[in-house]
Amino acid sequence: MTFFGYTSLNDEVSHGLTLIERLLPIMFLFLVICIIFIFSKQIKNYRNEKIIRYTISGLMFLGEFAFIIWNYIHSLNGDVRFITTLPLQLCSYAIWGLAISLILKSERLYNYLFMFGIVSVLALIFPNLNHGFNSFRYYQLYFSHSLLFVALIYLYRIHGFYPHKKDFINAFILLQILIVFSLVLNIILATDFLFIGPGNKPIDFAWDWPYHIIQYEAFMAFIYFVVYKIIKKIKSKEVVI
């Protein structure tokens, strides 16, 4: 397989991702997050701080456009149905939305997408990949999802953005709208947006269609609740300090 060759979970490979291929991007991401926290005061006072925001946003757009072009080229060869690769997954909504939020410095948009970003970061721990250092898709996935988390932390630490209880509720309502929208598309187009729809399973041990939607909803509700409690506790400690 060439570096820019199309990769799929159906590919036969001698091994999955090695431990170093999994850990190296996460270690690099941790380093970047540490830098943001350590130099947060200097970044806040930097007169051209917007250049940093625009740069992060531009890199996020670059990663997503590269993925779209890569998929389109391989769709011409019949390797993939291009329509199934459109940016209509939770990760895509978060990446595109937060890239715009960085440019506009929009706290409202950030609050709507905060939980999308938190859930999408799971892709760094459980990447939807078979191939590692030898694959363009490996670098694109970790690049885009790492920048997604960088954007979340940056706007939180530098600009004080964080969702309140009402924002969590509104974001969960938005998720329900996207679930219905995705279900309709999946049924009509035989796609797997949000990993829900006929024949789709988000994880191997999920229930069969359509019952795994119940698991999906329960899991998302649980994650929303837990993250809300964590954020609330963190902010209360900051106020006390």
pTM of the predicted model as reported, rounded to 2 decimal places: 0.90
At position 68, the amino acid (one-letter code) is: I
Residues 93 and 198 grouped into a single domain: no
> Domain total for the chain?
2
Residues 206 and 147 grouped into a single domain: no
- Which of 197, 192, 191 lies closest to 213 in space, CA to CA? 197
Q: How far apart are CA 36 and CA 202, in angstroms?
A: 33
Among 144, 160, 176, the domain boundary falls at 160
Residues 41 and 127 grouped into a single domain: yes
> One digit per residue, pLDDT tens: the chain, 241 residues?
789 999 877 777 666 788 899 999 999 999 999 999 999 999 999 999 999 999 999 999 999 999 999 999 999 999 999 999 999 999 999 999 999 999 999 999 999 999 999 988 888 988 888 888 989 999 999 999 999 999 999 999 999 999 999 999 999 999 999 999 999 999 899 898 988 877 666 565 667 777 778 888 888 899 999 999 988 888 777 654 4
Residues 118 and 215 grouped into a single domain: no
Which structural domain, as residue segments, surrounds residue 177? 163-233
DSSP 208: P
For residue 8, is it within any domain?
no
For residue 223, is it within any domain?
yes
Phi, psi of 191 (to 5 degrees): -105, -175
Q: Which pLDDT score, from 0 to 100, does residue 177 have?
A: 95
For residue 5, is it within any domain?
no
Among 135, 160, 185, the domain boundary falls at 160
Residues 136 and 201 grouped into a single domain: no
With b for 16 or more beta-carbon neighbours within 10 A and e for fewer, the 22-35 pattern comes to: beebeeebeeebee
Q: How far apart are CA 218 and CA 131, in angstroms?
A: 31
Among 107, 137, 160, the domain boundary falls at 160
